[in-house]
Amino acid sequence: MAKTMRVGQLGHAVLAATIALALVQSPAHAQKSAENAANAVTPAAASPAAAEPAPAAAPTAAAPAATTPLDPFAHGTVQAGATKAAVCSACHGPNGNSANPEWPRLAGQSAIYIAQQLRLFRSGTRANPIMKPLAAGLSDQDISDLAVYYQAQTVSGLEADPSYWKAGSDLYRRGDKARDIPACIACHGPVGRGNIVGGYPALRAQESVYVVKQLNDYASGARYTGTNVTSADPNSVMMLTIAKRLTPEDIRNVASYVQGMR
The C-alpha angle 145, 149, 150, rounded to 5 degrees, equals 120
Residue 30's CB: how many other CB atoms inside 10 A?
A: 14
Cα gap 159→75, rounded to integer Å? 35
Residue 66's CB: how many other CB atoms inside 10 A?
A: 12
Among 201, 252, 253, 260, binds ligand HEC (CB under 6 A): 201
- Regarding 208 and contact with ligand HEC (CB under 6 A), the answer is no
Among 122, 188, 204, 252, binds ligand HEC (CB under 6 A): 188
Among residue numbers 14 through 33, which ones bind ligand HEC (CB under 6 A)?
A: 20
- Regarding 111 and contact with ligand HEC (CB under 6 A), the answer is no
Smaller CB distance to ligand HEC: residue 61 or 226? 226
- Regarding 49 and contact with ligand HEC (CB under 6 A), the answer is no
Q: Where are the alpha helices (DSSP H) in the chain?
A: 2-23, 27-41, 48-51, 72-75, 78-84, 89-92, 111-123, 131-136, 140-151, 165-174, 185-188, 208-220, 229-232, 236-243, 248-260
- Regarding 97 and contact with ligand HEC (CB under 6 A), the answer is no
Among 68, 117, 153, 169, binds ligand HEC (CB under 6 A): 117
Among 70, 88, 219, 261, binds ligand HEC (CB under 6 A): 88
Q: Alpha carbon of 16 to those of 41, 167, 237: distances in Å? A: 9, 23, 16
| Shortest reach from residue 40's CB to ligand HEC, in Å | 8
Query: Which residues are at the interface with ligand HEC (CB under 6 A)?
Result: 20, 87-88, 90-92, 102-104, 106, 114, 117-118, 128, 130-131, 134, 146, 171, 181-182, 184, 186-188, 200-201, 203, 211, 213-215, 233, 235-236, 238-239, 242, 254
